[in-house]
Amino acid sequence: MITQKSLSVPVSGGACLHLRHIYHEQKTGPVVLFLHGAIENGKIFYTHSNKGLAPFMALNGFRCFVLDLRGRGGSVPAIDSGHEYGQTESILEDVPAALAFIEQYTGSKPQFWVAHSWGGVIMNSVFARFPEEVPNVDACVYFGSKRSLYNNHPEKLIKANLLWYWLAHRYSKKYGYLPAKKLKWGSDNETVKSHWQSAQWAKKMPWVDSDDGFDYAQALKSQVLPPTLHIAGVKDKALAQPIDIKMFMKESGIGLQTLNIYGKKHGHGHNYGHIDMLTHPRAQDDQFKDLLKWFELYRK
């Protein structure tokens, strides 16, 4: 039987992060941390009716912890005008707070990390800032994760160049935050700072923190990160084409990294895009199964 439970992780400024614990009551397997991307929240990995990747993994014995970054999903308070935190706080405070909480709650740090989209950038940034975390992680799987956009597909020119770089800035200035949920651009909103910081990195700017100048690329240059499986969808034309993912892999240390592309021409059950690579019913027969195999290969 799959059980879901909401946990609260306090962070600075009186905020609390929402952590969804999804597990099988009769199985006690490895601990997994899940991290969503921009204009999203942890619900990309699960539904309350136990659909999605996290319940699938729970059925296979994994103890899943799905994090909502500050202000997103079930985290409180929700993003609003005047909230000044951004991705620097996600890297330096939110993810470390979740890791410490999970260790206290379960007795061990997460053995496996899973991310969607920008969540993979945040996770590798955490590895750069806190290299002592690397030995705690057996392997990672990143769904559609890239840092900078190198492709020039027409859909990318609309979604990134027009919407994310230009129009989103206008909306952020007007509202004091990016109302992506209201605009139907995604499942959640972004602060002005988190949008601006992610947009700069996506524009192929150096992988350097705008707050303190920390050089993530330099920190990872000779670092061996956990073995990482990157997942791309053949219909993901704008946000994570193979060229974008490969460039992210290139700047993410010297550890083992593999890229798998999912679509009918590769023998899979669906032509996956950026979102439905995690939400389509056929995913459990394709990339979800390959995720289990990847973790089994590197499980210590």
d(C-alpha 57, C-alpha 23), whole Å: 8
Peptide bond into 77 cis (omega under 30): yes
Residue 182 structure tokens: 């209201």
Per-residue pLDDT at 244: 98
pTM of the model: 0.98
Q: What is the pLDDT of residues 54-88, one digit of tens each?
A: 999 999 999 999 999 999 999 999 999 999 999 99
* % of the chain residues with pLDDT over 70: 100
Extract the tokens encoding 34: 């899940």
Name beta bridge partners: 143.
116, 231
SS3 content of the chain, % helix, strand, coil (to 5): 40, 20, 40
Both tokens assigned to 119? 């969540």
Q: What is the pLDDT of residues 127-160, one digit of tens each?
A: 999 999 999 999 999 999 999 999 999 999 899 9
For 53-64, the three-class secondary structure string (H helix, E strand, C coil) is: HHHHHHHCCCEE
Amino acid at 172: S
Mean pLDDT of the chain: 97
Tell me, what's the pLDDT at 166? Answer: 95
| 3: confidence class by pLDDT, cuts 50, 70, 90 | very high
| Mean pLDDT calculated for residue range 28-45 | 97
pLDDT band at 274 (very low <50, low <70, confident <90, very high): very high
Average pLDDT over residues 184-197: 97
Handedness of CA 87, 92, 97, 99 (dihedral sign): positive
State which amino acid sits at residue 76. Answer: V
Q: Kindly report the CA angle at 165 between 163 and 145, in degrees rounded to 5?
A: 90
Distance CA 255, CA 224 (A): 4
Cα(274)–Cα(151) distance, integer angstroms: 15
pLDDT digit string, tens, across residues 261-270: 999 999 999 9
> Residue 50's pLDDT is what?
97
Percent of the chain with pLDDT over 90: 98
In the predicted structure, residue 300 carries a pLDDT above the cut 90: no
Q: What is the CATH topology of the domain spanning 2-147+215-298?
A: Rossmann fold (3.40.50)
Q: Are 130 and 99 in contact (CB under 8 A)?
A: no
Show the CA angle centred on residue 245, arms to residues 244 and 250, nearest 5°. Answer: 100
Per-residue model confidence (pLDDT) at position 41: 98
Residue type, 6: S
Q: Which strand (E) or helix (H) includes residue 68?
A: strand 63-68
Q: What angle do CA 108, 111, 117 make, to 5 degrees?
A: 125
